[in-house]
């Protein structure tokens, strides 16, 4: 039996590439060459290979133009991510192409990253690490790099989905109060005593830390803008491990520069891998390179989930378990 042709745009964990080669006529990108940044090149390679499926990753530009240029042979596109705002799902659906993602397997790891950023911002860990590496540390001092404790602080979780709930569980171990803003209120057994807010203003005024876990798209674009930042308490912390586009970078830089926002921790950026240049001159922002799901265990799980989706569609002719749109 002829194996389906699968174009893989990125270098993936070894076990995932081995599985793909076993079950597919897999066209790999072993050196992670940057052709994946060009939608036209992805479409060209898919056409050349007569691909039945494509396995992409977060940020690969599967916009309407790219979708239109794909060959008729493509039946499904799996993204190595939970988010799929880099894909024009409507355009894919119009062409009969199924889009699939990898939910559930990375919630804990992404919450870990949010917790890491929260601690880095609160305890000035980035500043301290840079001081030591630069050879500028002259020993312990009573007033050196004084941050704030998380104990007793009100953590505001924007988006109480899987990741938000995992973060809430971690934060309870730091004796934080859990507050959250979402479209709908959770049932009591899922809230676990967390305080729900049905409007932005009361939510922002109540919290000491905001951690953002909202999906991308027009509805959340630049949600954390100057107006909303001004409604937060002076000295608050901002953490974003969700979507870079949900923060107005210029507004956050201004708030960090003025001291209205004490510190921030960011793992995602609008227009990655480009980072808003205003952040680089600030000591009170911790910047990570999109590490949210970057554990060995999670990346293997993501790859297996992506291939399970493709197997269902391309090998077994069934509906994939994690189709979107």
Nearest to 213 by CA among 107, 76, 81, 86: 107
Catalytic residue among 191, 221, 290, 308: 290
DSSP string, 29-47: -TT--GGGG-HHHHHHHHH
Q: Which residue has the tokens 């939910």?
A: 103
Is 290 marked active-site?
Answer: yes
Q: Which of 17, 41, 127, 272 is catalytic?
A: 272
- Catalytic, out of 45, 162, 213, 243: 243
Give how far Cα 315 sits from Cα of 23, 101, 138, 250, 309, Å. 9, 17, 63, 48, 10
Residue 41 annotated in active site: no
Please give the structure tokens belonging to residue 313.
């569609």
How far apart are the C-alpha atoms of 214 and 240, rounded to whole Å?
9
CB atoms inside a 10 Å sphere around CB 261? 26
If one counts every other C-beta atom within 10 angstroms of the C-beta of residue 161, the result is 17
- 65 flagged as catalytic: no
Strand 25-27 relative to strand 195-197, pairing:
unpaired
Cβ burial of 29 (10 Å; 0-12, 13-18, 19+) is: middle
| HSE-up (13 A, CA, CB side) for residue 258 | 13
Query: How many residues can be counted in the chain?
Result: 325
Beta carbons of 307 and 287 less than 8 angstroms apart: no
- Cα–Cα dist 95/297, whole Å: 35
Alpha-helical (H) ranges within 64-160 are: 64-69, 89-94, 107-123, 125-133
DSSP summary character for residue 62: B
What does the alpha-carbon distance between residue 30 and residue 17 come to, in Å, rounded to a whole number? 9
Q: Give the catalytic positions in this structure.
A: 243, 272, 290
């Amino acid at each position: 039996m002829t194996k389906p042709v699968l174009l893989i745009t990125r270098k993936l964990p070894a076990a995932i590439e081995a599985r793909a080669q076993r079950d597919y006529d897999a066209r790999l990108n072993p050196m992670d060459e940057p052709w994946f940044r060009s939608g036209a090149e992805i479409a060209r390679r898919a056409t050349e290979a007569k691909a039945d499926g494509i396995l992409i990753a977060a940020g690969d530009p599967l916009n309407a133009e790219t979708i239109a240029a794909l060959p008729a042979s493509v039946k499904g596109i799996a993204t190595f991510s939970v988010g799929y705002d880099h894909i024009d799902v409507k355009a894919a659906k119009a062409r009969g192409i199924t889009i699939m993602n990898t939910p559930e397997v990375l919630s804990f790891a992404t919450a870990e990253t949010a917790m890491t950023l929260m601690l880095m911002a609160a305890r000035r860990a980035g500043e301290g690490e840079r001081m030591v590496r630069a050879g500028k540390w002259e020993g312990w001092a009573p007033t050196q790099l004084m941050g704030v404790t998380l104990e007793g602080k009100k953590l505001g979780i924007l988006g109480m989905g899987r990741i938000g709930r995992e973060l809430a569980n971690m934060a309870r171990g730091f004796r934080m109060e859990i507050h959250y803003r979402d479209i709908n209120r959770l049932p009591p057994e899922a809230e676990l005593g967390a305080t729900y807010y049905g409007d932005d203003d009361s939510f922002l005024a109540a919290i000491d830390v905001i951690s953002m876990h909202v999906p991308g798209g027009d509805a959340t674009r630049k949600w954390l803008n100057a107006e909303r930042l001004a409604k937060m308490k002076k000295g608050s912390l901002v953490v974003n491990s969700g979507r870079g586009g949900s923060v107005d970078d210029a507004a956050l830089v201004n708030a960090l520069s003025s001291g209205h926002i004490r510190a921030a921790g960011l793992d995602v950026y609008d227009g990655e891998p480009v980072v808003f240049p205003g952040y680089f001159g600030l000591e009170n922002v911790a910047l990570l390179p999109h590490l949210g799901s970057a554990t060995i265990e999670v990346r293997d799980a993501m790859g297996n989930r992506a291939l399970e989706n493709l197997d269902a569609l391309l090998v077994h002719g069934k509906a994939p378990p994690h189709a979107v749109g």
